[in-house]
Amino acid sequence: MSTGTNRCVLITGTSSGIGLATAVACARAGWTTVATMRDTTRAVALNTAAETAGVSLDIRVLDVTDDQSVRECIDSVAAEHGRLDAVVNNAGAAHLGTLENDSLADIRASVEVNFFGVVQVSHAAMPHLRASSGRLLTISSVGGSIGQPFNEAYCAAKFAVEGFMQSLAPVARTVGVQVGVIEPAAVTSEFVANAHVDVAAMVAQAGPYAPALTAYAQRTMARYEADTGKPQTSDEVAAVVMQVLTAPEMPFRTQTSNEARDFVGQSLSDLDGSAVLGETRSWVGQ
């Protein structure tokens, strides 16, 4: 990958959170930064952050669930900037629910944006990354290694992302492209808020799952309010993304905090799944 200041990176889902922070961090580091989002009328916070940082961004429309939108954006970026050195797949959507209470349409929609959106962007970008010996980096989650209660659809998509990328990595390396995933734990951002979840309403409609959902929600809020287990900031995660993007050799899997490392490590060493299920059962009052 080029080490000059003409390096070009495309980032999806930059209207808020990790995507916004990563776009600003890349621009500060001298990258030509293409910040994409589904609706550019939501770029106010990104523009403000860029202005505060004294950097410029190339902000474009890209809907990861629309193949034409993906290809038009990526091909035009490569044509206009003359190269594409890195892609950061960040766009995604939280989803809280459980199998019996979700519709199949809800589950498919979550997998569509969180998995197939990543695949569509990566598919369109690979020829350009191959030409630049570039890097394909995807923001996953600890939920890509550990299934979490009331996050079945979201975790399924993240598991799929990690399996897909881990399978792709050695093949892509034969043509000069490095592939990796980033696994944050809880992050202070608008990600969960954007899921538009009314927990009280969900509990009221949860039927036999109401006690478990109540226990899960209470545990989650208690951890966020405690001195330990506080979410990372988006800027902290973006700093790790930059370290990975600029490392001489990009690791396949990178956690962004000690909490994330401990959590993922527990899963990777848990051959029969008993340790993980022993912990997650406690999240739902078992």
224 is known as an active-site residue? no
Q: Distance of CA 58 to CAs 24, 46, 173, Å?
A: 11, 11, 28
Per DSSP, the three-state class of 181 is: strand
Which residues does residue 253 pair with via DSSP β-bridges, in sequence order?
181
Residue ranges of alpha helices (H) inside 29-103 are 44-53, 67-81
Out of 154, 209, 216, 224, pick the active-site residue: 154
Q: b vs e for 109-139, b when ≥16 Cβ sit within 10 Å of the residue's Cβ? A: bbbebbbbbbbbbbebbbebbeebebbbbbb
Closest by Cα among 15, 21, 29 to 233: 21
Q: Which sequence positions are flagged as catalytic? A: 154
